[in-house]
Amino acid sequence: MADLIHLSADALAQKLAAKEVSAVEATQAYLDRIDAVDGAINAFLHVNTEEALLVAAEVDKARADGDALHPLAGVPIAVKDLIVTRGQPTTAGSKILEGWQSPYDATVVKKLRAAKMPILGKTNLDEFAMGSSTEHSAYGPTRNPWDLDRIPGGSGGGSAAAVAAFEAPLALGTDTGGSIRQPGAVTGTVGVKPTYGGVSRYGAIAMASSLDQIGPVSRTVLDSALLHEVIGGHDPHDSTSLTDPVGALVEAARLGQVEGMRIGVIKELQGEGYQAGVLTRFHESLDLLRSAGAEIVEVSCPNFRYALEAYYLIMPSEASSNLAKYDGVRFGLRVVPDGAPTIERVMGATRAAGFGDEVKRRIILGTYALSAGYYDAYYGSAQKVRTLIQRDFAAAFEQADVLISPTAPTTAFKLGEKLDDPLAMYLNDVATIPANMAGVPGLSLPGGLADEDGLPVGIQLLAPARQDARLYRVGAVLESLLEESWGGPLLAKAPAIPGIAGGK
Amino acid sequence: MTAGTDEVLSFDEAMEKYDPVLGFEVHVELNTKTKMFSSAPNAFGDVPNTNVTPVDLGLPGVLPVVNGVAVESAIKIGLALNCSIAEKCYFARKNYFYPDTPKNFQTSQFEDPIAHDGFLDIELTDGTVFRVEIERAHMEEDAGKLTHMGGSTGRIQGAEFSLVDYNRAGVPLIEIVTKPIEGAGSRAPELAKAYVAAIREIVKNLGVSDARMERGNVRCDANVSLRPHGRETFGTRTETKNVNSLRAVEHAVRYEIQRHAAVLDTGTPILQETRHWHEDTRSTTSGRPKSDADDYRYFPEPDLVPVVTNEAWIEKLRAELPEPPAERRKRLQADWGYSDAEFRDVVNAGVMSSIEDTIAAGVSAAVARKWWMGEISRRAKLADVEPAELGVSPELIVELNALIESGKINDKLSRDVLDGVLAGEGTPAEVVEKRGLAVVSDDGPLLEAIDGALAAQPDVADKIRGGKVQAVGAIVGGVMKATRGQADAGRVRELILERLGVEG
């Protein structure tokens, strides 16, 4: 059933509804695909075969009985291993949580279960979502299906690679500074960071609480909208979750209309530091949108230039506190040093052994930024920058309905290339971070392949807070125009995964 | 650690040289149904680690949600302490590693307490009123409880391991902080006790806390410093932690004043530190050094939105406040016509509310006082319980009193009736019936007994006949004995005098 795995989630859902295919068949097809390719990709940290098939069988039975079902019932999904799930391990990509099983489900997981979407398993990530390449996972890197020597982006490289390699039609990611969108860009998939508060964070292991947001990963804009409507909405367990209804996102994606819309090109998110092939594809997209009747305007967000620096103060500050709970006392790894260990030594030894270098780097950075005497200069200043970025967005959205930029300055780099240069790694998120700093929604969709390396380029759309629908409306138009120019989906151009019988 | 090895000066000598400056941090545990940030029950004394949710254990992915009732309680406390209530206030994280704190940070308030700048007038025993300025009252969560095992002292020193109970973790706390209290002089220990007693009374009266110090519902940290008479600047302070009875507060402040004075007399500076209070030796020992620069890396809690109050809400809560205890006492004393000494005794015996209820049920203030300060207090002392805990209802006292006033029983018999009622033998009337306790009102048996008594003490009978009417008491005593107390002593006296032909 190789064809089955190449269907979009929407197409699969329709076939399921029409009883042309069963949920068990679809789920099994994806499990077979995982079995075939994941040895090479390493997108999954855990495969949830039994439960996924069980849920699929329930869906088939319910459908046979004529029960009412959610439109996505029986459509399988992968979940980033930063989101807690009952019945499966949750590791956050860290040794410190190895073997830990959550006694509760994240709110988004409850919603997946309510919709009866079989959960295929848990996907790889940079440890505690800290990284842009998935190389910081304690369980080995995930590889980019386009080129196994390259990174799939991060931190959500596992979810993006799983979707790109047809191991899942949909996945959940989390995005703190671009962890959904940048992996989407470098794997030729779609990823959405909803408005902050649009999707409950309850059960998403926190890195930086004021920046984290769960969102959809898919192969089409419409599929992300479908998943977004499943997971979105108010949650009384998350005080920062918005009370607004999630909105007509699927309708916006199906409408796909840009005529008369003003689309703002952010002056500061192009030019120096951006790969030529990325900019070529970006300008092509602008031309397509213009041809579809959109007005392309230029906007300036002068404070975006401070976004990365401010982000690397706020994010580690919050992370240093959020990660304090991993101490070996209540759950997860416990390392008891020799001799007569005190609680301090047990906590110290546990954290020394359980956390990787990047996590330690950020904990130390954050601890320093929050310490007495430095707080105002670091955390305090960074919060002021955050306000300035919000003002930049507010001003830009006076002039434009949606903003547009490349998602990442480059295509996928090689594994190991930036591992010893954290600053170079951090720069990869320069275009995605402002959205997190302001809480506005962002979507990345495939913009084609860069001429110089033949690797996917991502186009990022940004909308005002609570206007996520605009992303889908514009994204769907751009996607259809691009696919028309390519003669099909971009992923159809991906090379066969080496060593896999039957190629892709 | 050996207690009580420090040199102390006599209190009077200390007062001759120094002025004490006090400061208090009182933690009040609220009696809300659920915890500050979770839906776990807020209950005392349950099986360890049963009143916990994933939130209370700080499991990965959890988020706090503010308990609205706790916020209202905080506002009520603030209003009762004459504080301003913040229009908008934030929670903050206080970061420190300790195994009783599940997240390794305490969610508290830092720069923006919900209530600030109030005062409390404290009445001392001689009637003088001392105003204590309140700096702030803020909301936070309690920690879990550690039990150190294997050592002889129950302290962490020498223990082999420690157990932790998270039932208390997350219980809502209000921390009330005073401004430095100057000018108390030798009244400082008395003021300390009276201040904590007043706080306890206020929160109990508001109904927001069970206010039981022995359960840790109200816990006091007492700061003490000394300065030579006439000096403006404060001396170095020590903070005696968790002084958990009113008497201990008084003693701890007195002890620290004496110890500081002895140290200062030798020319050595006071070490800024915490002190532990030891009830057995009535002394303090050194805890940990505490500087003003303790670095808790406070920052605004990003998982919670600010608490926003408004005038209408605050005024509604203000209107619901019960009468302040001090005003209530003034009103009741005036209503009841008790002398200052009588009223103070009533308050100290803890029977003011019982008397109020008993008067409301239908007896005079004098009768209510007679019962509560007499028979009931006596029984309470014997049983080592509070008078109110004996199970004597106001209605019971009304009934007993009615029986006495109708002449059915006398004071002495009423005690037997009370015995019977408390033993579950029925209503007072039923007990009188069953036990045959009614006063003998038929003159026949009385005259018989009188004749017997006169015959037994002929010399006394002669004296009475000779005009020494006061000697009649001995005969009355004989009659009462013969009738097992079931005679109306007044009537007996009348009959004796009549019998002997003497004018009363």
Domain membership of residue B326 (yes or no) is: no
Asked if B103's CB is within 8 angstroms of A236's CB, the reply is no
Q: Is A311 on the interface with B (CB under 8 A)?
A: no
> Would you kindly state where each structural domain of chain A is located, as residue ranges?
2-304+402-493, 314-385
Do residues A92 and A206 make contact, with C-beta atoms less than 8 angstroms apart?
no
Range of the domain at B486: 443-500
The per-residue pLDDT for B3 is 45
Strand partners, A91: none
Average pLDDT over residues A23-35: 98
The per-residue pLDDT for B490 is 82
Mean pLDDT of chain B: 91
Strand partners, B22: B181, B224
Measure the CA–CA gap between B276 and B6, rounded to whole angstroms: 13
Would you give the DSSP letter of residue A186? Answer: H
Measure the CA–CA gap between A30 and A169, rounded to whole angstroms: 8
Clarify whether residues B229 and B117 are in a common domain. Answer: yes
Lowest-confidence range among A368-382, A440-454, B340-354? B340-354
Number of Cα atoms under 13 Å in the Cβ half of residue A274: 24
Task: Write the pLDDT tens digit of every residue in A118-159.
Answer: 999 999 999 999 999 999 999 999 999 999 999 999 999 999
Domain membership of residue B51 (yes or no) is: yes
Report phi then psi at A298, rounded to 5. -100, 135
Average pLDDT over residues A265-279: 93
A137 is catalytic: no
Give the pair of three-digit tokens for residue B244. 């958990």
Nearest to A321 among B62, B66, B105 (CB): B105
Reported as a pLDDT band with limits 50, 70 and 90, residue B161 is confident
Q: Among B351, B349, B356, B350, which Cα is nearest to B322's? A: B356
Q: Each residue of B315-327: b (16+ CB within 10 Å) or e?
A: eebeeeeeebbbe
Q: Is A201 on the interface with B (CB under 8 A)?
A: yes
Strand partners, A265: A298, A404
- Residue B456 one-letter amino acid: A
Q: Where are the alpha helices (DSSP H) in B386-442?
A: 394-405, 411-422, 428-435
Q: Among A456, A494, A492, A483, which Cα is nearest to A281's? A: A456
- Residue A91 one-letter amino acid: T
Report phi then psi at B90, rounded to 5. -120, 155
Average pLDDT over residues B299-319: 97
* C-alpha pair distances (Å), A21 with each of A11, A26, A71, A223, B226: 11, 7, 14, 19, 84
Asked if B63's CB is within 8 angstroms of A201's CB, the reply is yes
Task: Write the pLDDT tens digit of every residue in A383-430.
Answer: 999 999 999 999 999 999 999 999 999 999 999 999 888 888 888 999
How many domains does the structure of chain B reveal?
3
Give the pair of three-digit tokens for residue A132. 């842009």
Average pLDDT over residues A360-366: 97
Measure the CA–CA gap between B297 and B295, rounded to whole angstroms: 6
Asked if A236's CB is within 8 angstroms of B61's CB, the reply is no
Reported as a pLDDT band with limits 50, 70 and 90, residue B73 is very high
Nearest to B61 among A204, A329, A343 (CB): A204
Which residues are CB-contacts of B353 (< 8 A; sequence separation ≥ 6)?
Answer: B388
Clarify whether residues B409 and B452 are in a common domain. Answer: no
Task: Give the number of residues written for chain A.
Answer: 504
Clarify whether residues B249 and B174 are in a common domain. Answer: yes
Average pLDDT over residues B90-115: 97
Clarify whether residues B111 and B144 are in a common domain. Answer: yes
Q: What is the dihedral of CA A302, A307, A308, A312, to 10 degrees?
A: 160
A285 is catalytic: no
The per-residue pLDDT for B150 is 82
Asked if A325's CB is within 8 angstroms of B60's CB, the reply is yes
Give the pair of three-digit tokens for residue B263. 């140290």
Would you give the DSSP letter of residue A380? Answer: I
- 10 Å CB burial of residue B414 (0-12, 13-18, 19+) is buried
Nearest CA in chain B to A366: B297
Asked if B61's CB is within 8 angstroms of A206's CB, the reply is yes
Q: Is the pLDDT of residue A503 over 60?
A: no
Do residues B8 and B255 make contact, with C-beta atoms less than 8 angstroms apart?
yes
Domain membership of residue B228 (yes or no) is: yes
Q: Is B150 left (phi over 0), alpha (psi -120 to 50) or beta?
A: left
Task: Write the pLDDT tens digit of every residue in B5-58.
Answer: 689 999 999 999 999 999 999 999 999 999 999 999 999 999 999 999 999 999
Radius of gyration of chain B (CA): 30
Q: ipTM, 2 decimals?
A: 0.96
Asked if A343's CB is within 8 angstroms of B162's CB, the reply is yes
Q: Where are the alpha helices (DSSP H) in A407-499?
A: 422-427, 433-438, 468-486
Q: Is the pLDDT of residue B2 over 60?
A: no
Give the pair of three-digit tokens for residue B59. 């499991």
| Helix, strand, coil percent values for chain A (each to nearest 5) | 45, 15, 45
Q: Is the pLDDT of residue B1 over 50?
A: no
Q: Kindly tell me the number of DSSP H helices and DSSP E strands found in chain B.
A: 17, 16
CATH number at residue B475: 1.10.10.410
Clarify whether residues B117 and B237 are in a common domain. Answer: yes
Q: Could you give the percent of chain A with pLDDT greater than 90? A: 94
A19 is catalytic: no
The per-residue pLDDT for A504 is 47
Question: Which of B404, B435, B466 lies at the terminal end of a domain, its last residue?
Answer: B435
Measure the CA–CA gap between B132 and B260, rounded to whole angstroms: 23
Question: Per CB distance under 8 Å, which residues of B are interface residues toward A?
Answer: 54, 57-66, 93, 95, 97, 99, 102-105, 162, 164, 293, 295, 297-299, 302-305
Measured over the CA atoms of residue B129, residue B135, residue B139 and residue B143, the dihedral's sign is negative
Clarify whether residues B399 and B466 are in a common domain. Answer: no
Nearest CA in chain B to A205: B61
The per-residue pLDDT for A215 is 98
Q: Is A330 on the interface with B (CB under 8 A)?
A: yes
Reported as a pLDDT band with limits 50, 70 and 90, residue A229 is very high
The per-residue pLDDT for B372 is 94
Mean pLDDT of chain A: 96
The per-residue pLDDT for A416 is 95
Q: Among B448, B433, B458, which Cα is nearest to B492's? A: B448
Clarify whether residues B406 and B474 are in a common domain. Answer: no
Measure the CA–CA gap between A477 and A482, rounded to whole angstroms: 9
Best of A86, A105, A202, A375 to disrupt the B interface by mutation (most B CBs within 10 Å)? A202
Q: Is the pLDDT of residue B153 over 80?
A: no
B-chain residues within 8 Å CB-CB of A100? 60
Task: Write the pLDDT tens digit of every residue in B231-254.
Answer: 999 999 999 998 989 999 999 999
Q: In whole angstroms, what separates CA B490 from the centre of its chain?
A: 42
Reported as a pLDDT band with limits 50, 70 and 90, residue B504 is low
Do residues B132 and B169 make contact, with C-beta atoms less than 8 angstroms apart?
no
Average pLDDT over residues B371-392: 88
Q: Is the pLDDT of residue A184 over 90?
A: yes
Superfamily name with CATH number, domain A2-304+402-493: Amidase signature (AS) domain (3.90.1300.10)
Average pLDDT over residues A433-460: 98
Asked if B162's CB is within 8 angstroms of A379's CB, the reply is no
Clarify whether residues B138 and B257 are in a common domain. Answer: yes
The per-residue pLDDT for A500 is 67
Clarify whether residues B294 and B366 are in a common domain. Answer: no
Return the number of CB contacts < 8 Å for A and B: 101
Q: Is the pLDDT of residue B483 over 90?
A: no
Strand B283-289 versus strand B92-95 pairing type = unpaired
A-chain residues within 8 Å CB-CB of B295? 371-372
B-chain residues within 8 Å CB-CB of A92? 60
Measure the CA–CA gap between B120 and B483, rounded to whole angstroms: 58
Clarify whether residues B154 and B234 are in a common domain. Answer: yes
- Which 3-state string (H, E, C) describes B187-238? HHHHHHHHHHHHHHHHHHHHCCCCCCHHHCCEEEEEEEEEEECCCCCCCCCE
Do residues A294 and A258 make contact, with C-beta atoms less than 8 angstroms apart?
yes
Angle formed by the axes of helices A276-291 and A468-486, to 10°?
100
Measure the CA–CA gap between A459 and A442, rounded to whole angstroms: 10
The per-residue pLDDT for A97 is 98
Report phi then psi at B124, rounded to 5. -85, 170
Distance from CA of B67 to the nearest CA of A (A): 11
Asked if B304's CB is within 8 angstroms of A202's CB, the reply is no
Reported as a pLDDT band with limits 50, 70 and 90, residue B292 is low
The per-residue pLDDT for B293 is 61
Average pLDDT over residues B325-329: 89
Nearest to B61 among A202, A236, A239 (CB): A202
Measure the CA–CA gap between A137 and A92, rounded to whole angstroms: 8
Clarify whether residues B155 and B239 are in a common domain. Answer: yes
Measure the CA–CA gap between B108 and B142, rounded to whole angstroms: 10
Do residues A407 and A181 make contact, with C-beta atoms less than 8 angstroms apart?
yes
Task: Give the number of residues written for chain B.
Answer: 504
Q: Where are the alpha helices (DSSP H) in A91-156?
A: 107-114
The per-residue pLDDT for A1 is 45
Lowest-confidence range among A82-96, A329-343, B398-412? B398-412
Lowest-confidence range among B16-25, B169-178, B423-432? B423-432
Clarify whether residues B272 and B418 are in a common domain. Answer: no
In the stretch 400-459 of chain A, residues with CB closer than 8 A to chain B read none
The per-residue pLDDT for A370 is 96
Residue with structure tokens 């830990």?
Answer: A100
Q: Is A100 on the interface with B (CB under 8 A)?
A: yes
B-chain residues within 8 Å CB-CB of A326? 60
Measure the CA–CA gap between B454 and A299, rounded to whole angstroms: 119
Q: Is A499 left (phi over 0), alpha (psi -120 to 50) or beta?
A: left
